[in-house]
């Protein structure tokens, strides 16, 4: 199977983003149809690509326009790309299916779908491109569309959160552009593989560390690492629920963690062996994220704000997995990307379902919802068990791998911290269960109706995938996550894979 | 606006539009291209809208028309990019739809000329729609 | 070289405006300054002593003195992205004014915790 399907990952959502405004003037529901068809097509493409990759296990390359590697943009598809694309398109399709009924609250339906398609186009584009300026352009496409989506309801809170998110996020984007300018000044090319070859002979001068630090600042703002996290607790609750699911589940990971690890490991060739201070810095920020996110989440009264702080904490787990730097740490981090995307997407969709049915997100006002909304309640319970690391769900295995990685690098305190804070995670997630769903038998159950069929279908789909990922972790580990970790660990060897053909 | 502004605006708008079209069409020979020319085309429309004030029905029709033209420009660009893909060659292939021209003449440079035209249409219509949505929002936004 | 230092000074001035100023419109202007500074820095990367603009006017011309054209194309893309961002910020500022009746950032702080 050759690589001709690679541009379709970007063309399908972008073409539907341009067609939706045209066709919705004829019939308003056309937007739903086009958007969901595009989402399903993207999921089909990513599953197809992953199966192709399992069959013959060779990096797929596509030269746009026929230009050779050093002159033009190449799209490259290896195991890490396959993993991230599966996460992005699964959560994207679930959110699209959910928003068919959820958008009855909002006006301007087709604008939502058009912006959502642009976000998906940007996310797919960041993952699949092999050219560093192209990655920046797609980062900005998805970021600007997400600023508009966060402020979609144009109510008081949403406007404030959207403006704050926008200013902070754009400063991060500008930092990435500055770093790309400095990198181009030294390497004279934009293709990631050729740049990594130049960087191999460059040496770790102060200019090198300045470029690395500027990239780190830019990506840290996008992924809400702790000193730069101030936008996330306001932006994720204020967005409409499917957008929150996409943002928390996928966006901060693709734009932040995937882009950072691709640049750090493959382009710059850094690893634990030759850049230990940088990895210790990542560990420090990760630990800070886990502690700050976890403790602040315990004090929240708003359903979605609690989940947003939990996202900060889980990004901390992924960061310590990357900061440990050996095979099991990176495997744990990548597996946690999958598990957290599915789990947190599911939790935000249940929050949207509760808001759709009762009109409020305040935990003090909700009680006993499991009588009237059983699907939502059980989805929340099983999803939160997965995120807290309870076997046999997916989150247990990812935290287990991170702890194994910490132990084999002899960082015992890190393993203890990871295990301790997964108890804290279970604590604050169960708090929602106690208040809103299964507990408080003394209060009257809040009047509510179960979620409509399409919303319930989206939630059940994500739930089934979370359970399946947990039970069937071994084939996923061997065929997808393990080779993806090897892609990152081989560092500068990435260039051989891309340029040798 | 006063009479002097209105007379001059009527004279200048046509010349701005013509100059913008020139910059778009010669994008592969001289500096400029799709985006800069599109901004000039939008400036021509914005000048007319600023000089002659806004009447509700005219503004709403203008907004609808420029939104539709913008979407058509985007669809045109995507279909140009897909033309090479569907014909079996690479995506965004720089082949020419009118045979190979001679270098340094107007008909040359492969797919750059139609791509510049598509971008010029999209940016021009898009910027005018953006101006109407921000400046005449009480006429144009229907919520 | 002096021009690159001037770009960095412009970046710091813009960053100062984004961080310190209280009026939303001044924050947006400061952000435009940051964008200008980074774009100018990027365009200066292709500088060459005694360079000529990279436009081919005659097919049999010596091209060894051309200034690097790639940063110019990249800066064009970055300017367009900056335009879209500024437009969206202004639209948000307009909506904030309709709701809150003020442009003062210290008064739009309803989200806490």
pLDDT of residue A205: 85
Number of C-beta neighbours around residue A459 at 10 A: 27
Task: Please list the residues that pair with A167 across neighbouring strands.
Answer: none
The winner for highest mean pLDDT among A47-61, A284-298, A434-448 is A284-298
Q: Structure tokens of A452?
A: 């409509």
| Chain-chain contact of B91 with A18 (C-beta, under 8 angstroms) | no
Q: Cα(A261)–Cα(A254) distance, rounded to whole angstroms?
A: 10
pLDDT tens column, A361-410: 777 777 777 777 788 888 888 888 888 888 888 888 888 889 998 888 88
Contacts of A11 in chain B (CB under 8 A): 78, 81-82, 91
pLDDT tens column, B47-57: 988 888 777 77
pLDDT of residue A70: 75
Q: Cα(A19)–Cα(A182) distance, rounded to whole angstroms?
A: 38
pLDDT of residue A134: 92
Mean pLDDT of all residues in A130-147: 93
pLDDT of residue A443: 64
What radius of gyration, in Å, describes the C-alpha atoms of chain A?
21
| Chain-chain contact of B103 with C59 (C-beta, under 8 angstroms) | yes
Q: Cα(A307)–Cα(A305) distance, rounded to whole angstroms?
A: 5
Residue A479 pLDDT class (50, 70, 90 cuts): confident
Residue A454: partners with Cβ closer than 8 Å, 6 or more residues away: A97, A98, A100, A101
Q: Cα(A408)–Cα(A403) distance, rounded to whole angstroms?
A: 9
Please choose, from the candidates A338, A351, A140, A123, the residue with its C-alpha nearest in 3D space to the C-alpha of residue A239.
A351
Interface test with A, best of C30, C31, C38, C43 (most A CBs within 10 A): C38
A14 compared with A486, residue with greater pLDDT: A14
> Above 90 in pLDDT, residue A177?
yes
Q: Cα(B92)–Cα(A478) distance, rounded to whole angstroms?
A: 37
In the CATH hierarchy, which top-level class contains the domain C2-47+66-107?
A: mainly alpha
- Averaged pLDDT score across all residues of chain B: 82
Task: Check if the beta carbon of residue A316 is closer than 8 Å to that of residue A325.
Answer: no
> Above 90 in pLDDT, residue C33?
yes
Q: Structure tokens of C106?
A: 């210290």
Residue C18 pLDDT class (50, 70, 90 cuts): very high
How distant is the Cα of A176 from the closest Cα of chain B, in angstroms?
A: 23
User: In chain B, what are the domain boundaries?
Assistant: 3-140
Q: Cα(A82)–Cα(A6) distance, rounded to whole angstroms?
A: 11
Concatenate the DSSP letters of all residues of chain B into one string: --HHHHHHHHHHHHHHHHHHHHHHHTTTTSS--HHHHHHHHHHHHHHHHHHH---HHHHHHHHHHHHHHHHHHHHHHHHHHHHHHHTTS-TT----BTB---TTSSS-STTHHHHHHHHHHHHHHHHHHHHHHHHSHHHH---
> Above 70 in pLDDT, residue A500?
no
Handedness of CA A408, A414, A420, A426 (dihedral sign): negative
User: In chain C, what are the domain boundaries?
Assistant: 2-47+66-107
Per-residue 3-state assignment (H helix, E strand, C coil) for A357-369: HHCCCEHHHCCCC
- Using the structure block, give the residue that is written with the tokens 């989402």: A39
**Residue A247's domain spans which residues?**
3-499
- Averaged pLDDT score across all residues of chain C: 87
Least confident of A321-330, A477-486, B68-77, B86-95: B86-95
- Nearest chain C alpha carbon to A233: C113
A31 compared with C87, residue with greater pLDDT: C87
Mean pLDDT of all residues in A169-196: 90
B residues 72-131 lying closer than 8 A (beta carbon) to C: 103-104, 130
pLDDT of residue B108: 67
Mean pLDDT of all residues in A189-211: 85
Q: Write down the ipTM of this complex.
A: 0.94
DSSP state of A326: S
C neighbour chains, 3+ CB pairs within 8 Å = A, B
Residue A486 pLDDT class (50, 70, 90 cuts): confident
Q: Cα(A461)–Cα(B131) distance, rounded to whole angstroms?
A: 43
Which helix (H) or strand (E) is A77 found in, with range? strand A74-77
Task: Please list the residues that pair with A191 across neighbouring strands.
Answer: A131
How distant is the Cα of C63 from the closest Cα of chain B, in angstroms?
A: 16
Nearest to B71 among A7, A21, A66 (CB): A21
Q: Cα(A114)–Cα(A141) distance, rounded to whole angstroms?
A: 13
B105 compared with A136, residue with greater pLDDT: A136
Residue B89 pLDDT class (50, 70, 90 cuts): low
């Amino acid at each position: 199977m050759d690589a001709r399907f690679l541009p379709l990952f970007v063309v399908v959502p972008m073409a539907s983003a341009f067609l939706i405004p045209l066709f919705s003037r004829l019939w308003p529901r056309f937007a739903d149809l086009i958007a969901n068809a595009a989402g399903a097509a993207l999921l089909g493409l990513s599953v197809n690509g992953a199966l192709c990759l399992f069959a013959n296990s060779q990096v797929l390359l596509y030269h746009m326009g026929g230009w050779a590697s050093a002159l033009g943009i190449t799209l490259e598809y290896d195991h890490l790309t396959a993993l991230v694309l599966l996460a992005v398109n699964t959560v994207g399709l679930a959110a699209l299916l959910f928003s068919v009924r959820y958008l009855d609250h909002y006006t301007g339906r087709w604008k939502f779908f058009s912006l959502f398609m642009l976000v998906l186009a940007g996310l797919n584009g960041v993952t699949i491109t092999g050219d560093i300026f192209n990655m920046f352009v797609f980062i900005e496409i998805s970021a600007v569309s997400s600023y508009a989506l966060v402020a979609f309801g144009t109510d008081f809170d949403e406007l404030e959160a959207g403006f704050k998110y926008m200013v902070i996020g754009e400063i991060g984007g500008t930092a990435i552009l500055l770093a790309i300018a400095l990198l181009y000044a030294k390497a004279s090319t934009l293709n990631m593989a050729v740049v990594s070859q130049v960087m191999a002979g460059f040496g770790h001068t102060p200019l090198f560390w300045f470029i690395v630090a500027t990239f780190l600042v830019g990506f840290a703002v996008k992924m809400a690492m702790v000193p730069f996290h101030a936008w996330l607790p306001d932006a994720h609750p204020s967005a409409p629920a499917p957008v929150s699911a996409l943002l928390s589940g996928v966006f901060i990971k693709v734009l932040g963690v995937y882009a950072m690890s691709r640049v750090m490991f493959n382009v710059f060739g850094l690893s634990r062996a030759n850049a230990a201070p940088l990895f210790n810095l990542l560990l420090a920020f990760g630990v800070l994220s886990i502690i700050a996110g976890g403790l602040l989440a315990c004090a929240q009264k708003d359903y979605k704000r609690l989940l947003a702080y939990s996202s900060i904490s889980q990004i901390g787990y992924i960061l310590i997995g990357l900061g440990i730097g050996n095979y099991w740490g990176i495997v744990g981090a990548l597996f946690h990307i999958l598990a957290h995307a599915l789990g947190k997407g599911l939790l935000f969709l249940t929050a949207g379902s509760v808001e759709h049915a009762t009109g409020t997100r305040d935990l003090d006002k909700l009680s006993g919802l499991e009588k009237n909304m059983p699907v939502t309640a059980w989805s929340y319970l099983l999803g939160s068990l997965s995120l807290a690391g309870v076997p046999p769900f997916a989150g247990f295995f990812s935290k287990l791998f991170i702890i194994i990685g910490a132990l084999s690098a002899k960082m015992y305190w890190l393993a203890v911290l990871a295990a301790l804070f997964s108890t804290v995670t279970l604590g604050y997630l169960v708090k929602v269960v106690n208040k809103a769903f299964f507990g408080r038998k003394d209060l009257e159950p809040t009047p509510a109706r179960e979620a409509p069929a399409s919303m319930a279908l989206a939630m059940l789909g994500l739930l089934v995938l979370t359970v399946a990922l947990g039970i069937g972790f071994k084939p996923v580990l061997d065929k997808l996550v393990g080779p993806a970790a090897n892609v990152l660990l081989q560092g500068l060897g990435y260039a051989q894979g891309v340029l040798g053909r | 606006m006063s009479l002097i502004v209105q007379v001059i605006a009527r004279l200048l708008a046509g010349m701005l539009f013509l100059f913008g079209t020139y910059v778009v069409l010669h994008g592969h020979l001289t500096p400029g291209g799709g985006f800069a020319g599109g901004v000039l085309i939008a400036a021509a429309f914005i000048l007319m809208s600023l000089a002659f004030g806004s009447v509700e029905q005219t503004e709403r029709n203008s907004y609808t028309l420029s939104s539709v033209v913008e979407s058509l420009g985007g669809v045109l660009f995507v279909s140009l990019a897909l033309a090479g893909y569907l014909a079996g060659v690479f995506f965004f292939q720089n082949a020419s739809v009118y045979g190979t021209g001679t270098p340094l003449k107007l008909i040359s440079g492969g797919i750059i000329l139609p791509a510049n035209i598509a971008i010029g249409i999209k940016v021009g219509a898009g910027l005018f729609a953006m101006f109407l949505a921000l400046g005449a929002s009480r006429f144009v936004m229907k919520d | 070289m002096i021009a690159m230092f001037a770009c960095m000074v412009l970046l710091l001035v813009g960053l100062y405006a984004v961080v310190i100023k209280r009026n939303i419109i001044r924050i947006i202007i400061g952000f435009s300054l940051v964008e200008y500074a980074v774009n100018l820095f990027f365009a200066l990367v292709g500088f060459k002593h005694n360079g000529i603009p990279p436009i081919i006017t005659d097919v049999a011309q010596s091209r060894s003195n051309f200034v690097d054209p790639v940063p110019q194309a990249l800066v064009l893309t970055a300017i367009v992205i900056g335009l879209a961002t500024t437009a969206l910020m202004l639209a948000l500022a307009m909506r904030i004014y309709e709701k809150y009746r003020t442009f003062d950032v210290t008064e739009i702080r309803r989200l806490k915790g």
